Structure 1
Amino acid sequence: MACAVALLTAGCSADVTETGPQITARPDGVSIGIPVQVTVDGLPAGDQVRIWARTYDRQGQLWESSGEFVTDGVGQVDVSTAASTGGTYTGVDPHGLFWSMRLPDQKQAPYPLMDADDVVVLLGVDRAGATVARTTLRRVVREPSGRVLPVAEAGLVGDLYLPPGAGVWPGVLLLGGAEGGRPDPAYAALLASEGYVVFGLAYFGVPGLPDTLNRIPLEYGLTAARWLAERPEVAGDRVGLVGTAKGAEYALVLASTEPSRFAAVVAHVPSDLVWPGNGTTGTQMSSWTRAGADVPFLRASPARGASSADPSHPVRSADAYERAVAAASRWRLAVARIPVEQITAPVLFTSGDADGVWPSTTQAQRALESITKAGNPYGSALLDFPGAGHLVGGVPDLPTTRTAIPNGPVTIDAGGDPATTAAAVRDTFSATVELLRKAMPRGRG
């Protein structure tokens, strides 16, 4: 990322002039969660221009986007209010240049997309096929004085993200999904910048932990929550819990098992049922164990097309989960159900009804219904986004155009409309921070 930042910065400064066409992006150097305004000035009225944006991902690959605009009566384009008539997005969308960035078709998107470094975007305006102005915009993911501490103690593996300064803050345990490894560092750093000590916990797929998502002990996650609460930087004895996809499933099982440990739970695209892990033996087994015994699970149906293992044809696996539920007896569904009504904290569920990985909307609705029927008084809620896909949780204003997710020998279709998914990410991030602020004890910086 450092080289990419240098290239972007070096490539723009010589082309910006104080007279003639100019492109401006502000506010610069603030959190990526804060909306920005991009404007172009100094052009003839009624002129046709192309405004473009470029940035690099964590593998150094270049992402690009563009919009086609007509300048107004004073020769200006305000991307916040002007409609794009072409390029990578159309219509009025202040965030369009950011979420609509894309790679060349033959390239693969890394997961996670960004590290915890700042996202530096090069912006430019083309007129008659020539670039007439450029600028850069730095969007902050991790506060400059924040710290990241690798964790390898008490049998735990992960990273501890600390807000700037010395003090105590609420703690948040962050769990990634079936991709394994350490959770998204950009999401962890951004949550920490909001005033939380974030423990990004790996639970498989790194040295010292299981290779595959099979029979992960619940005790491991509960130990992580206890370890986090006992840190000197953490206020209070209850922590927040944020999980995505399989990490949301894990989060709901953890919070149902030891409710007193958690003050708030955020479950992005969750499941209300325990599903099998993703081992390579072909034998389905539980993702989780409790006291050494398998947590009961519902057997999954095979996804149509999964046997082809052709990365150019992503598989929609959500249908397989739906078929498995439809074929299961009431007893099997009851045994595999996560008892979310035992959670003694507010739960925020987020989902997209075009989720191609699994039916997160239906699963989240069933979970919320269980909580509601039990009379849970803690203010649990569901944010569901019609037309959005699987990737509705995480860092706002990153590209949502690549919906194919590598998963072992196959590629899974995350589903959803990129613009709708991008809007959902912005809403879920705001809602996540709002829930944590309401539920968590405030620290002192």
Structure 2
Amino acid sequence: MRRVLVVLVLLLVAGCSGPGEVRVDLGPAVVPADAVAHVKVSGLGGGDRVEVVAEATDQAGKNWRASASYKADDHGFVDLDRTAPVSESYAGVDGMGLFWAMNPPDGDPQRQLYLPEVNGDGPREVVRISVRDGEKTLATATQTRRWATDEVTVRTLTLAKDKVVGRLFLPKPDGKRHPGVFLLGGSEGGMSQAAGAALLASHGFPALTVAYFAAPGLPKTLQEIPLEYFATAAKILAAQPAVDPAHVVALGASRGAEASLLIAQTFPDLIHGAVLYAPTSKVAPGFPDYLANSWTLHGRPLTTDTLIPVDHVSGPVLAIAGTADGIWQSAPAAQLIDTELTTAHNPYPHKALIYPGAGHNVGTFPYLPQGTQFYEALADHTAYLGGDRPTNAAAQASSWPQVLALLRSL
């Protein structure tokens, strides 16, 4: 009888652990900005309820924060990849939910833009995770998420020397040639895609991003931008020893997607395919002057509202859009681009990725907190981007690995 009691006690102890030293693990201390942080809490009592808090400081010094409460399993373990919060900043099982759901300390998070800190090694996000029981902190951990690894080198391109304004990000040389990526931002102007270019270089892809308006020496607005300007930049990227000149892909968002499709069609010997986030299938008007023309070729303006042809595109095309885009109808446009490529008997892979309920912020890299409204300084108005934060975040997390897979397939 005594032996049976001992066995029963041992089974009970093994089945429902008591509290020990509480620990929280995020994986490596320094990771690429698009890495998944597998947040795990251990050492709790079985069934304990704790709050997990994520915090990060943005470029302006604001402390962004998200928190959620979780119930430990019978072994005192919480795995955010497998456990839905019981009260939350986000809903459902999402291991990165605390990262994209962070809110600023004041103001409407839908109207605010999170920009990561920038120091000598480029943009980075230092995320602090704490496990709390009421006012008591049980465990903490920190992860630094970097866009440019130590091996990435950066070169600034100037109008005086290079005839373009840009930044070239190169991965550590390995003696091989790799696909190059040419990144273009949208109506925000300037060099908005530098972080994305740095991240792609960290993945081994030489990447160049350029400003084409709203930067010193360039047009102040999106009006009559020569497509030849992009060709000049693409030649610089293709000439790099680490770049396979037969596989230079344009990647753009919004107006940058429009430009990317135009140059893939116009310069098929330089640009060999495109990744298009929230695209248009037609030539859009100037910005903020909608009566102006956006682009020129050989000194002549491209006619607004004409369908962008795709019969000369010489590489794969991935068009990514959300059905709730508040800026323009990017989902039908993405589908039309894909259909037109099929009609043109394009021999390269092409696909439209459509995300129900996602807005204009359907891309690019995932896990940063983003609102659904954006102040357009050039037009002095607020743009309503559509979608909602959870749906946009899910679209980014789904589409970004597919972009990387496309590049790796070249």
**1:109 maps to amino acid:** Q
The separation in 2 between residues aligned to 1:390 and 1:105, in whole angstroms, is: 24
Letter in 2 for 1:75: G
- The answer to whether the 8 Å contact 1:264/1:435 transfers is no
* CA drift at 1:407: 1.0
- Residue 404 of structure 2 aligns with which residue? 433
How much has 1:283 moved relative to structure 2?
5.7
- Residue pairs, 1:259-274, within 5 angstroms: 259-274=268-283
Flag the 1:148–1:111 CA change in 2: closer, same or farther, 3 A: farther
| Equivalent runs, 1:32-431 vs 2, <5 Å | 32-106=33-107, 109-110=112-113, 115=118, 116-152=122-158, 153-165=161-173, 167=175, 168-279=177-288, 282=289, 284-298=291-305, 336-400=306-370, 402-408=371-377, 409-431=380-402
Q: Which residue of 2 aligns with 1:4?
A: none
What is the CA-CA distance between 1:350 and the residue it aligns to? 0.4
1:34 CA displacement: 2.9
Does structure 2 retain, via aligned residues, the 8 Å contact 1:99–1:398?
yes
CA separation of 1:169 and 1:375: change in aligned 2, threshold 3 A:
closer
Q: Which has the larger radius of gyration?
A: 2
Cα deviations by residue, 1:24-75 (Å, 9 ceiling, x for unpaired): 2114322233322111122222222110101122222221111111122122
* Aligned positions, number: 382
Specify the code of the residue in structure 2 equivalent to 1:391. Answer: N
Offset of 1:92 from its aligned partner?
1.3
What is the TM-score when the length of structure 2 is the normalising length?
0.88
Structure 1 111/27 Cα, relative in aligned 2: closer, same or farther at 3 Å?
closer
Letter in 2 for 1:293: R
Contact 1:42 1:76 in 2 (8 A): yes
Secondary structure of the 1:117 match is: strand
Tell me the CA shift for residue 353 of structure 1: 0.8
Offset of residue 164 of structure 1: 2.1
List runs of 5+ in structure 2 lacking aligned partners.
1-19
What is the Cα-based RMSD across aligned positions, in Å?
Answer: 2.0
- Distance in 2, matches of 1:283 and 1:41, equals 57
**Distance between the aligned counterparts of 2:266 and 2:193, measured in 1?**
25
Matched position secondary structure for 2:399: helix
Unmatched tracts of structure 1, length 5 or more? 1-18, 299-335, 440-445
Counterpart code for 2:172: P
Aligned to 1:13: none
Alpha-carbon separation, structure 2, partners of 1:384 and 1:117: 30
* Cα shift at 1:117: 2.6
Secondary structure at the counterpart of residue 362 of structure 2: coil
Asked if 2 retains the 8 angstrom alpha-carbon contact of 1:245 and 1:269, the reply is: yes
Q: Is the 8 A contact 1:214 1:286 kept in 2?
A: yes
1:12-35 Cα distance to aligned partner (Å, 9 max, x none):
xxxxxxx63222211432223332
1:203–1:210 contact (8 Å) kept in structure 2? yes
CA contact 1:143–1:164 (8 Å) conserved in 2? no
In the aligned structure 2, how far is the partner of 1:47 from the partner of 1:111?
Answer: 33
AA matched with 2:357: G
Match of 1:7 in 2: none
Seq. identity, %: 38
